[in-house]
Amino acid sequence: MGVSEKMMQNTLLFEERSKRYFLNVFKRKKKKVELRPGALHPDEVREIVKKIGKNKKVNIRRVEYDGSPEEKPIAVKIIDIHEDYFTGVVINVERSIKQELDEHIIYIKGGGGTIDFFYNDGDIMSIEEDVDEKIIQQRNLEELAEILDALEINEEILLSYYDETKGGVINARGKLISKNMDTKDFSVELTVINEIELDKPKTINLNLDKNMVLDIEVVL
């Protein structure tokens, strides 16, 4: 074997050893999870998210860098779950209502959008399924049908229903303007939505079977 061939062989061996060395260094230097005070372990967060599942609304409270909990939890709808993180769409029902009522209002700070929550960030203090979701699962359709049947047209009512577009519960006040008990369709002219008084009444059409109507009460 010539000198040039030996040099070439030694060069290849050196490169191969260097490659293995650097790969091992990166493996040894795998990022260590640093939990903030009071935060859940990443494995616990992962299990909670998997148990709740996709398309569910949750409230997430995180820990600040200084160890203090965030003042208010963030409400998101889980849209995707991965091994290292999950993705949520930010929900703000009140903002959506105000934007819908006034086209000139534009929200930037604290607005919508999606957020990727990485388990190993170690900053999630709690993650709980939203109360709205539990109420939806507990609603009684037979009872709601009985209440609707007993109502008179133009009677003033309090109405609660889940708005899938806004991702939250709407609590409204208005008057019943039509109903059909055969199809379970009814219409309400709303004057107040989530404590926001409307400049102009807004009519909504709902169906007890197709829409998430949670409660109907007569205004006494």
* 150-191 pLDDT tens trace: 999 999 999 999 887 777 788 999 999 999 999 999 999 999
**151/168 same-domain check:** yes
- Could you report the per-residue pLDDT of 44-59, keeping only the tens digit for each? 999 999 999 998 889 9
Domain containing 183 equals 135-218
In a domain, 118, yes or no: yes
**Token pair belonging to 11:** 């060069």
Closest CA to 217 of 146, 163, 136: 146
Give the model's pLDDT for residue 137.
Answer: 64
Rounded mean pLDDT of the chain?
Answer: 81
Residues in the chain: 220
Give CA–CA dist 98/194, Å, rounded.
Answer: 10
Token readout for 175 is 């008057």
- Which residues, listed in sequence order, are joined to residue 188 by a DSSP beta bridge? 176, 204
21 vs 112 pLDDT, higher one:
112
Whether 13 is covered by a domain: the verdict is: no
- Both 74 and 53 in a single domain? yes
Task: Please list the residues that pair with 160 across neighbouring strands.
Answer: 171, 215
Q: What band does 110 get if pLDDT is binned at 50, 70 and 90? A: very low
Phi then psi dihedrals of residue 136, to 5 deg? -60, -40
Q: Among the three residues 113, 129, 145, which one is the final residue of a domain in this structure? A: 129
Same domain (yes/no): 57, 103 = yes
Q: Are residues 207 and 139 in the same domain?
A: yes
Are 123 and 46 found together in one domain? yes
CATH number where 186 lies? 2.30.30.30
Q: How confident is the model at residue 89 (pLDDT cuts 50, 70, 90)?
A: confident
Higher pLDDT, 212 or 4: 212
pLDDT tier for residue 27 given thresholds of 50, 70 and 90: very low
Q: What is the CATH number of the domain that holds 93?
A: 2.30.30
Same domain, 106 and 163: no
In total, how many domains does the chain have? 2
Tell me: do 108 and 58 sit in the same domain.
yes
Whether 86 and 123 share a structural domain: yes
Quick check: helix, strand or coil at residue 15? helix
96 belongs to a structural domain: yes
Residue 183 lies in a domain: yes
> 118 with 154, same domain?
no
Q: Is residue 116 one of the residues assigned to a domain?
A: yes
pLDDT at 139: 75
- 168 with 105, same domain: the answer is no
pTM of the prediction? 0.56
Is the pLDDT score of 22 beyond 50? Answer: no
Confidence of residue 108 (pLDDT cuts 50, 70, 90): very low
Q: Which of residues 129, 164, 189 is at a domain's end?
A: 129
Picking from 129, 153, 173, the residue at the C-terminal end of a domain is 129
Higher pLDDT, 96 or 124: 124
- On whether both 100 and 139 belong to a single domain, the answer is no
Euclidean distance between CA atoms 139 and 69, whole angstroms? 33
Let me know: does 92 contact 75? Beta carbons within 8 Å.
yes
User: Has residue 26 been placed in a domain?
Assistant: no
Distance of alpha carbon 46 from its chain centroid, rounded? Answer: 16
3-state SS, residue 20: helix
User: Residue 84 and residue 65: Cα distance in Å, rounded?
Assistant: 21
- pLDDT over threshold 80, residue 133: no
Q: Do 159 and 116 sit in the same domain of this protein?
A: no
Beta strands in the chain (DSSP E): 57-62, 74-81, 85-90, 114-118, 124-129, 156-163, 168-180, 185-193, 196-207, 212-218
